[in-house]
Amino acid sequence: MDVTGNVLTEMGTARELHVLAVDDSHVDRKVIERLLKISSCKVTVVESGTRALQYLGLDGENSSIDFDSLKVNLIMTDYSMPEMTGYELLKKIKQESSVFREIPVVVMSSENILTRIDSCLEEGAEDFLLKPVKLSDVKRLTDFMRGEGKIAEKQSPKRRQSDNCTPSLSTMFSLTSYHRNITSPELLPSLSPSASPSKKSRVSKKIELC
Amino acid sequence: MDVMVQLQRQLFDYTASLFHEGFLDEQFNQLQQLQDESNPDFVVEVVTLFFEDAERLLNELTNALSQENIDFRRLDAHVHQLKGSSSSIGAQRIHTVCISFRNSCEEQNVEGCLKSLQQVKHEYSTVKSKLETLFKVRRSGPFLVRVLICNIEMTYGETDFGCRGVSVLGSVI
- Tell me the three state secondary structure of residue A120: helix
Name all contacts of A36-40 with Cβ < 8 Å and 24+ positions apart. Answer: A36/A76, A36/A138, A36/A142, A38/A135, A38/A138, A38/B34, A39/A135, A39/A138, A39/A139, A39/A142, A40/A16, A40/A142
Which element (helix H / strand E) includes B53? helix B42-65
- Of the partner residues A28, A82, A169, the one whose CB lies closest to the CB of residue B88: A28
Q: What is the pLDDT of residue A106?
A: 98
Q: Which of B34, B46, B84 sits opposite A38 (nearest CB)?
A: B34
Q: How far apart are CA A11 and CA B80, in angstroms?
A: 47
CA distance A42 to A45: 10
Give the list of residues 6+ apart from residue B85 with CB closer than 8 angstroms, or none. Answer: A25, A26, A27, A28, B50, B53, B54
Give me the helix-helix angle, B42-65 and B72-89, nearest 10°.
160
Question: At B145, which amino acid appears?
Answer: V
Does residue A29 contact residue A45 with C-beta atoms inside 8 Å? yes
Q: What is the pLDDT of residue A147?
A: 82
Q: What are the tens digits of pLDDT across the range B81-118?
A: 999 999 999 999 999 999 999 999 999 999 999 999 99
Which residue of chain A is at minimal alpha-carbon distance from B26? A168
Confidence of residue B150 (pLDDT cuts 50, 70, 90): low
CB atoms within 10 A of CB A194: 10
Task: In whole angstroms, give the CA distance from residue B32 to residue B41.
Answer: 10
Q: A167 and B26: CB-CB below 8 Å?
A: yes
When CB atoms are compared, the residue of B45, B53, B84 closest to A131 is: B84
Distance, in Å, from the CA atom of B59 to the CA atom of B48, rounded to the nearest integer, reads 17
What pLDDT does B162 receive? Answer: 39
With contacts defined as CB-CB under 8 Å, which chain A residues touch B33? 135
Q: What is the rounded CA–CA span in Å between residue B70 and residue A178?
A: 37
pLDDT at A187: 38
> For position A209, what pLDDT does the model report?
36
CA atoms of A202 and A192, how far apart (whole Å): 16
CB–CB of B110/B125 below 8 Å? Answer: no
Residues of chain B contacting residue A25, judged by C-beta atoms under 8 Å apart? 53, 81, 84-85, 88
pLDDT digits (tens, 9 = 90+) for B20-58: 999 999 999 999 999 999 999 999 999 999 999 999 999
Predicted confidence (pLDDT) per residue in A97-150, tens digit: 688 999 999 999 999 999 999 999 999 999 999 999 999 999 999 999 988 644
For residues A55 and A162, give the distance between their C-alpha atoms in angstroms, rounded to a whole number.
37
Q: What is the pLDDT of residue B151?
A: 66
ipTM of the complex: 0.80
Strands A177-179 and A127-130: antiparallel
Local mean pLDDT, 10-residue blocks, chain A (210 residues): 47 71 98 97 97 89 61 95 96 88 95 95 96 96 79 40 42 46 40 40 37
The pLDDT score that the predictor gives to residue A134 is 95
What is the pLDDT averaged over residues B153-166? 51
Look over chain B and give the mean of its residue pLDDT values, rounded to a whole number. Answer: 85
Cα–Cα distance measured from residue B167 to residue A112, given in angstroms and rounded to the nearest whole number: 46
Chain A hits for B49, Cβ within 8 Å: 26-27, 30
φ/ψ of A17, rounded to 5, equals -80, 130
CB pair distance less than 8 Å for A34 and B34: yes
With beta carbons under 8 A apart, name residues in chain B contacting A82: 77
Q: Tell me, what DSSP letter sits at residue A181?
A: -
Q: How far is CA B114 from the centre of its chain?
A: 21
Give how far Cα B58 sits from Cα of B23, B53, B98, Å. 18, 9, 11
Residues 21-80 of B with CB under 8 A from A: 25-27, 29-31, 33-34, 39, 42, 45-46, 49-50, 52-53, 77, 80
Verdict on whether the full-model pTM lies above 0.90 = no
Q: Between B29, B30, B53, which is nearest A26 by CB?
A: B53
Q: Are B87 and A170 within 8 A, CB to CB?
A: yes
Other C-beta atoms closer than 10 Å to the C-beta of A20 total 23
